């Protein structure tokens, strides 16, 4: 049958004494606040790992030899401010619904945010990075 809206009662739908309900198992659920906090905390920490040039990401000899261009510091600052703002908005500004979402949605969202951040951070913070010519 058709999906019912949250505000519709079974009594208003029932045309006889027999009502058949179909349920969908969405699996484990997580709150929307948890989803947003995970989505936005990951990119903040991941970018900083690349910015700090952790030894197993880049060659240590090359990292210590080369100075960073000022645009690399600016990119880190802008990225961090962007996600700190999102985190603060999630905690203090937005009224997130009391609803929940399936855990698989959290995994998909985090994979997108975290993967894209890793891709950006790897190249911007690489020891051989040179900014484009102006």
DSSP labels, the chain = -PPPPTT--HHHH-SSS----------SEEEHHHHHHHHHHHHHHHHHHHHTT-TTTS-HHHHHHSPPPHHHHHHHHHHHHHHHHHHHIIIII----S-EEEHHHHHHHHHHHHHHHHHHHHHHT-TT--PPP-
Question: Is residue 83 exposed (0-12), middle (13-18) or buried (19+ Cβ within 10 Å)?
Answer: buried
Percentage above 90 pLDDT, the chain = 49
Q: What is the mean pLDDT of residues 100-127?
A: 94
Q: How would residue 16 be classed by pLDDT, with cut points 50, 70 and 90?
A: low
Residue 39 has pLDDT above 80, yes or no: yes
Domain boundaries, the chain: 29-124
pLDDT at 110: 97
Residue 36 has pLDDT above 70, yes or no: yes
Residue 104 has pLDDT above 90, yes or no: yes
Q: Write down the pLDDT at residue 20.
A: 76
Residues 56-96: tens digit of each pLDDT? 788 877 777 778 899 999 999 999 999 999 999 999 998 87
Specify the pLDDT at position 50: 94
């Amino acid at each position: 049958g058709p999906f019912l809206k949250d505000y519709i009662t079974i009594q208003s739908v029932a045309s006889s004494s027999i009502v058949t309900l179909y349920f969908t198992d969405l699996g484990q659920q997580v709150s929307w606040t948890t989803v947003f906090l995970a989505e936005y905390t990951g990119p903040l920490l991941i970018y900083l790992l690349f910015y700090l040039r952790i030894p197993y990401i880049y060659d240590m000899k090359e990292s210590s030899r080369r100075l960073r261009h000022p645009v690399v510091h600016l990119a880190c600052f802008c990225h961090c401010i962007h996600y700190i703002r999102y985190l603060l908005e999630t905690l203090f500004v937005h009224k997130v619904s009391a609803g929940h979402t399936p855990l698989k949605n959290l995994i998909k969202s985090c994979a997108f945010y975290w993967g894209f951040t890793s891709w950006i951070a790897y190249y911007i913070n690489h020891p051989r990075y040179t900014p484009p010519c102006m």
